[in-house]
Structure 1
């Protein structure tokens, strides 16, 4: 079969996700070069895409895009609809497929889809349009260790052929899509590190990164902008960042870099500068279009601090940088509803990563301890009991033996008919 007879469409919305896909391509997990025509489908899922940083503006994007035969824009293809909310009505799917085959020059080729977050749009919409196509899912973060966020239509679930994921917690297996019998496949560590090095090379002339490096930082603080998710207020999130800085200062770090979330307001960094002045710490804000991993590659910090960012585990696993958490318990206690998909990343980080404010020494977590998988599976059951009824027995035993309130609130246990442990 020639490349014109077979097309692979890779849907991405973040550079981290695109790097994951690129590493899998380099490792031969999508076949040999030339086996298929490869199309990079870029989507901007920000609330207001027109005002958000475009993926093609990220440092290193061009290195990733070079692996593909062409790039197309999903936002343009479905304009004026929003990628996160639009999906075709069932009767419209064949028409949309004809439109996109014509617009993208696909002809009658067999189409294979590689998507992120298949349970939501735009991936779900793309799978609905190409209703005969096989689907592979790639997971670019800690959410892959948790249950599938929503039920999939059987018409899509039966076509999912596998989940590609990074080994962010060595020894822990993803729950994602396992209720549909979908297996998981690791993206090789060495392939992903090679892609991260390639992206970092593209930042050789980045003035913001050079300025950050010149300050001689020893610690990096990761912002996540939890206020936009309604988990914290803007003031509470400012205080969370201040706690990170105070914790780093108390651990002896005198030059610190803060990497805000790309959508965070400027006021976050203004408040942090004031906190740094009070703590006698040199603060540099790295707000350019860079991955945190590019900073790790170039500056080799001695500490990375965050709440539950995937970039914390990337620092530990791929760069052997000690990590510490701040505010994880606060956010876990505040998170609603219980089945919120951020719960598993929070659970994993809370269990693996030392609390900076408790005096625990930052460290590289290493392989998953024997206590982690039972916890994740019990929480996963409590999040999506109808998707994983087979986990109920494990969850009952875990809750009875070790079910602390932080992960298993009494109200949720009552909803599921599980017994609240005595003495709690």
Structure 2
């Protein structure tokens, strides 16, 4: 029996390892193949998943490692999709390349609605599919509709219980059951010890918001600078900066300049090191970010104080409204303390998070989740259309009434002298 796994991020691979260790894929009776993909904008200059230092401890769980980038080269794995007429042929070639015979007994994917995972689901047919979560995005709606040939084979969604009490919305419209993974399985993969001492440092989590078109490069640099100013104002003189693996090195260079101006020691962590490893080994006393899933894992699994910066700006800039980052941004903004540049920390107002996420999820993809309409309407009646909603979207969904247009004033009747002047002006040479 062969099981084919797919992963593109170290966080995803750690989640996958936790599921394997917890027995979610049964005993090891046959081959376990891991197909890795590097989806960075320029994968040629970015270390592949299986080449990062943190992957070494995960490797023994798999019998073979193959690169999807090498299979589809020179095409980019996040862009390439097989044409319909090519699917049967390419599916046979892939099975031959991986020595799958008639096909694997199970296909295990992340982010199944977008390539490369969706491409693989279309090529590797006639087997059940398990999906494992992509962090906080699992609590949001399925980004795009899936064909019956794919969603009809999905048997379950495995996810970390990042927000206890909150059920994932992902794939729920297809009746796919969500199965949370135990905390201990994930912590054992990360290697966390409860007695890790605090380091006296704070930590900034970088993302790649400008690369996604959410912010400009200048705005993202200023966002990081505001995080650093807030930490310095709280008395921190030593700060760790963890760049996102897909962001490159420019964020670190800009933040070093700000650190020099503020007189603070900045230590940049290698982008290939997962944030969770830093939480486990360096024990930061405060973790600051925008809406990264790592903010939640820092507080949920490692008991670290966390804070957000820039949530309101991100919620305003996300476009279109159904942008899949909206639910992670909503959860972190509604749940976590907010850090100001003067060092003050203030708690967000109390909120029914489940009702809020359901309302936002309905507004993102109302046609897929009609059963959430009344929940959305009830939330809006109670809490109003605050920072998490767009008036235009609410109006289009008839959840609020559009204001009546202002009456147009009737043109004033001109006097005989005025009419004469008007005729003269039109006939003047």
TM-score, length-scaled by structure 1: 0.89
User: Offset at 1:254?
Assistant: 1.5
SS of residue in 1 equivalent to 2:215: coil
**Conserved? CA contact 1:258–1:286, under 8 Å:** yes
**Conserved? CA contact 1:114–1:135, under 8 Å:** yes
**Conserved? CA contact 2:288–2:309, under 8 Å:** yes
SS of residue in 2 equivalent to 1:340: coil
Find the counterpart in structure 2 of residue 151 from structure 1.
145
User: Offset at 1:55?
Assistant: 1.0
**Larger CA deviation: 102-111 vs 410-419:** 102-111
**Conserved? CA contact 2:312–2:387, under 8 Å:** yes
2:70 to 50, 66, 76: 76
Deviations 1:9-57 (A, max 9, x none): 11000111001001100000000122x3210011111222212221122
1:419 to 400, 406, 417: 400
Where do 1:4-403 residues align within 5 Å?
6-34=1-29, 36-197=30-191, 217-357=200-340, 361=345, 371-403=352-384
**Larger CA deviation: 307-316 vs 95-104:** 95-104
User: Offset at 1:112?
Assistant: 1.0
User: Offset at 1:360?
Assistant: 5.6
User: Offset at 1:319?
Assistant: 0.5
**Distance in 2, Cα, partners of 1:282 & 1:332:** 31
Larger radius of gyration: 2
User: Offset at 1:340?
Assistant: 0.2
User: Offset at 1:400?
Assistant: 2.1
User: Offset at 1:263?
Assistant: 3.3
User: Offset at 1:361?
Assistant: 4.1
User: Offset at 1:104?
Assistant: 1.1
**Distance in 2, Cα, partners of 1:370 & 1:240:** 26
- Unaligned 5+ segments in structure 2 are 404-429
**Distance in 2, Cα, partners of 1:218 & 1:362:** 21
SS of residue in 1 equivalent to 2:211: helix
**Structure 2 vs 1, CA of residues 39 and 354 (structure 1 numbering), >3 Å: closer, same or farther?**
same
**Distance in 1, Cα, partners of 2:351 & 2:28:** 40
SS of residue in 1 equivalent to 2:120: helix
**Structure 2 vs 1, CA of residues 250 and 404 (structure 1 numbering), >3 Å: closer, same or farther?**
farther
**Distance in 2, Cα, partners of 1:244 & 1:227:** 17
**Structure 2 vs 1, CA of residues 11 and 267 (structure 1 numbering), >3 Å: closer, same or farther?**
closer
**Distance in 2, Cα, partners of 1:354 & 1:421:** 33
User: Offset at 1:288?
Assistant: 4.5
**Larger CA deviation: 169-178 vs 91-100:** 91-100
SS of residue in 1 equivalent to 2:191: helix
Find the counterpart in structure 2 of residue 204 from structure 1.
none
Deviations 1:163-191 (A, max 9, x none): 00001111111000000000100111101
**Conserved? CA contact 2:199–2:283, under 8 Å:** no
**Conserved? CA contact 1:377–1:395, under 8 Å:** yes
Task: Report the RMSD for the aligned CA atoms in angstroms.
Answer: 2.2
**Structure 2 vs 1, CA of residues 265 and 95 (structure 1 numbering), >3 Å: closer, same or farther?**
closer
**Distance in 2, Cα, partners of 1:101 & 1:40:** 14
Aligned pairs, number: 398
**Conserved? CA contact 1:219–1:302, under 8 Å:** yes
User: Offset at 1:74?
Assistant: 1.1
**Conserved? CA contact 2:276–2:294, under 8 Å:** yes
**Conserved? CA contact 1:111–1:130, under 8 Å:** no
User: Offset at 1:261?
Assistant: 1.8
TM-score, length-scaled by structure 2: 0.88
**Structure 2 vs 1, CA of residues 266 and 40 (structure 1 numbering), >3 Å: closer, same or farther?**
closer
User: Offset at 1:349?
Assistant: 0.2
- Unaligned 5+ segments in structure 1 are 1-5, 201-212
SS of residue in 2 equivalent to 1:230: coil
**Larger CA deviation: 372-381 vs 404-413:** 404-413
